[in-house]
Amino acid sequence: MNDDHDTTAQPHRLSIVIPLYNEEDNVRPLLERIHQALDDYPHPWELILVDDGSSDRTVSRVKEETRRYGPHVRLIELQRNFGQTAAMQAGIDAARGDVIVTLDGDLQNDPQDIPRLVKRLLEEDLDLVAGWRRDRQDNVWLRTLPSKLANRLIARVTGVHLHDYGCTLKAFRANILKEVRLYGEMHRFIPAWVATLTTPARIAEEVVTHHPRRFGESKYGISRTFRVLLDLLAVYFFMRYRTRPGHFFGKIAFTFGGIGGLILGYLFILKLMGESIGTRPLFQIGILFEVMAVQFLTTGILAELLTRTYYESSDQRSYSVRNEAALHPRPDQQWHTP
C-alpha cells in the first residue's frame, strides 16, 4: 500500500472535481489513472465529472466508464458550454466530501499527486494546497511565458504569492471552498478568493508533475488574456473593498477633487492679479475634475448603501469563522457560574 495513503490518517471524505469539454479521447485513460492512483486510498472518495456542453462523444464515453467503475463516478451535464469556471463551480456545488480536489481532464495533471496534496492539506492544517507545475510541458511562447508573467502580476495585485495560479490541480477544505462563488474566468483566482476567507499563511503550494497533452488540443489559450485582466481588477476590488466600496471610490474622488482644486486655486490667483481665465482650457479642465470628483463620491455613497442592504437583507456575513460551533453554543455551555 502507498505510504502517502497510510500517513493520511485524519478521517475525511474526498471529492475530485474535473471539468470536461470535448475530451472524448482522454476520458478512459483519465479514469484509469485516477483509479490506479486511488486504488488503495483508505478513505471514502467520489469522482465528479462535469461536461461543459461538449459537442463530441465525451458524455457517452463518461457514461460507459460510469457503468464500468460504479456509482462513485458521477456525471453532471451542463445544458451548453458555460466555460471552465462555471463547470468547476457546478462540480464544487455537487461535491459531498470534506476535502475537494480539482483536476484538469486533459491528462496533463497527474492523479498520482492527489494523495500527496491531500496529505499535506490535512497534516499541516491548511485550507488550500495549490499545484505548482515547475517543469511545465507546454508551448513556451503561447502558454508558459504568458502564464509566468500573469502569475507575477496576480501575486503582486492580490498579495497571495504563488508560482502557478493557472494549475487546476488543487486541494481544498470543502467548508472554505464552498463559500467562494466563481464567475467569469475566476477559477484561476481561487487562491485569492480563498485569501478573503482565511489567512494566506494557510495557503501553500506543492510541486506536481505536468505531462504534455497527448490527445486533443487546449480549449483555453492566450485569447483569454484580456478577460483575465478584467477579472483581476474585479478580484483586486473585492479583496480590498468588498465591505467598504465607499473607500475605493472615495480615494478617486478626493484625488480628482484635489487636482481640480489646485487648478482652480491657481486660476483664482491669476484672476486676482487681473488676468482673464474664462477662456482658458485649464479652467474647463479644473471644472471637469471637480465634476468627476462629485460623481465618484456619490457613486461611493450609493455603493455603500447597496453593500449594507446586501449584508443586512441576506444571510451573508462580512466575516468568516473557522469554528462555526462557537457562534451557536448550547444554552447551558460557556457560562461562568459561581
**pLDDT value for 57:** 93
Gap between the Cα atoms of 139 and 132, Å rounded: 17
**pLDDT value for 181:** 83
Residue showing cell 478580484:
235
**pLDDT value for 1:** 46
Gap between the Cα atoms of 321 and 240, Å rounded: 19
**pLDDT value for 223:** 53
pTM of the model: 0.75
| DSSP at 55 | S
Domain 3-241: CATH superfamily, name plus number: Spore Coat Polysaccharide Biosynthesis Protein SpsA; Chain A (3.90.550.10)
Q: Which three cell numbers stand for residue 27?
A: 476520458
**pLDDT value for 213:** 72
Gap between the Cα atoms of 58 and 20, Å rounded: 8
| DSSP at 11 | -
Gap between the Cα atoms of 330 and 320, Å rounded: 21
Gap between the Cα atoms of 214 and 231, Å rounded: 30
Per-residue pLDDT of the chain (338 residues; tens, 9 = 90+): 455 555 455 889 999 999 999 999 999 999 999 999 998 999 999 999 999 999 999 999 999 999 999 899 999 999 999 888 889 999 999 999 999 999 998 888 999 999 999 999 999 999 999 998 887 655 545 555 666 666 677 777 777 878 888 788 999 999 999 988 887 777 778 888 888 888 888 999 999 988 877 765 655 555 556 666 777 777 778 777 877 888 889 999 999 999 999 999 999 999 998 888 888 899 999 999 999 999 999 999 998 888 778 767 766 665 556 666 665 666 665 555 55
**pLDDT value for 318:** 58
- Do the Cβ atoms of 87 and 104 come closer than 8 Å? no
**pLDDT value for 325:** 64
